[in-house]
Amino acid sequence: MWFTNAANDDEDTGMAARISLTRTGAACTAAALLALAGCGPPAPRSSSAGDDTGATAQAIVEAAADPCGAGGGGYLAALCGDPELAPLVGEIKSNLVEAASAISAEGAQQLAEGQKAWIESTRVSCGIADARVPLTAPQEECVKGALSSRARTAGQAVQQAGGYVFQTVEINRAVALPAEVTADFGPDSGIFAVTKAIRFPRIEGDTPQIRRFNELMQQRPAYGVQDQTSEEVTYKIAYAGPELVSVRFSNFDMTVGAAHPNDSEKVVTVVMATGEPLKETDVFAAPPARWRAEVLRRVRRSLTTQIRAAGGSPEISETDLADTALKVKNWAVTEEALVVVIPSETIGPRALGGFEVKIPWADLAPLLNPQAPAPIKRA
DSSP output for 168-197: EEEEEEEEEPPHHHHHTT-TTS---EEEEE
175 inside domain: yes
Residue 10 has pLDDT above 50, yes or no: no
Number of domains in the chain: 2
**Within this chain, do residues 48 and 166 fall inside the same structural domain, yes or no?**
yes
Percentage of the chain modeled with pLDDT above 70: 81
Distance of alpha carbon 234 from alpha carbon 23, whole angstroms: 20
Is the separation of the CB atoms in 27 and 17 below 8 Å? Answer: no
Distance of alpha carbon 65 from alpha carbon 59, whole angstroms: 10
pLDDT tens, 220-269? 999 987 899 999 999 998 999 999 999 999 999 999 888 888 999 999 99
208 inside domain: yes
130 inside domain: yes
**Within this chain, do residues 110 and 43 fall inside the same structural domain, yes or no?**
yes
pLDDT tens, 209-228? 999 999 999 999 999 878 99
**Within this chain, do residues 77 and 192 fall inside the same structural domain, yes or no?**
yes
Q: 204 is in which domain, residue-wise?
A: 3-275
Is the separation of the CB atoms in 182 and 120 below 8 Å? Answer: no
Contacts of 260 (CB under 8 A, 6+ apart): 254, 350
Where does the pLDDT of residue 352 fall: very low under 50, low under 70, confident under 90, or very high at 90 and above? confident
- Among residues 275, 300, 316, the one where a domain terminates is 275
Q: What is the CATH number of the domain that holds 335?
A: 3.90.640
**Within this chain, do residues 135 and 59 fall inside the same structural domain, yes or no?**
yes
**Within this chain, do residues 264 and 292 fall inside the same structural domain, yes or no?**
no
Distance of alpha carbon 303 from alpha carbon 308, whole angstroms: 8
- Tell me what pLDDT residue 80 has: 87
**Within this chain, do residues 250 and 354 fall inside the same structural domain, yes or no?**
no
- Among residues 275, 299, 334, the one where a domain terminates is 275
Q: Record the pTM.
A: 0.82
242 inside domain: yes
CA-based nearest residue to 28, from 91, 118, 156, 157: 118
**Within this chain, do residues 164 and 221 fall inside the same structural domain, yes or no?**
yes
